[in-house]
Amino acid sequence: MVDTVLAKWTTNIFGKSTARRTIQPSSAPPTLVGVVKGVPFSIEDEDLCADLEAGGFGKTTVKRIRKGNKPTRAVKVYFQNHELLTKAINK
């Protein structure tokens, strides 16, 4: 397994990223999304999720952003609540 992903990032891993609330059907809770830039291609989504959970950011979902058919070094991180997203931005 990859060494703790969070340890490889500089402080404030979300930089000056903005957060947005995704509109969901009324029965679903809102999804909060943060974008992390500069994630090496060698880091798998599953490892990133596991390291974020171990780092106290709760259960997350991660999806690498693609430009056309090519993956980029940016990933979307979906958080369970606003507090966890704020914690990640302020890290």
Residue 72's pLDDT is 94
Residue 2's pLDDT is 40
**What tokens does 59 get?**
């259960």
**Rounded Cα gap, residues 82 and 58, in angstroms:** 11
The kind and range of the H/E element at 8 are: helix 5-8
Could you report the per-residue pLDDT of 42-87, keeping only the tens digit for each?
A: 999 999 999 999 989 888 899 999 999 999 999 999 998 888 888 8
SS3 54: helix
DSSP 62-83: EEEEEETTEEEEEEEEEESSHH
Domains of the chain, with CATH numbers? 5-90 (3.30.70)
